[in-house]
Amino acid sequence: MKAKAINIQGLSVSYEQKRILTNIFLEIEKGHLYGVIGPNGAGKSTL
């Protein structure tokens, strides 16, 4: 079994009435390096 550094299950985030992230699942294994890329306003900083 691999050790997990971060485990996100079913994350959703809204600001006021606007949905920013919907039903996010993310698993980052310990010792690995990941990057989050995307256009402006895609929710990278919120994540």
pLDDT digits (tens, 9 = 90+) for 4-13: 899 999 999 9
Share of the chain above pLDDT 70, in %: 98
Average pLDDT of the segment spanning 31-46: 91
The Cα–Cα gap between 24 and 6 comes to 13
pTM of this prediction?
0.69
Q: How high is the mean pLDDT of the chain? A: 91
Question: Per the structure block, which two tokens stand in for 16?
Answer: 């006021």
**DSSP bridge pairs for 26:** 8
State the pLDDT at residue 8.
Answer: 95
CB 12 within 8 A of CB 2: no
Question: Residue 11 in 3-state DSSP?
Answer: strand
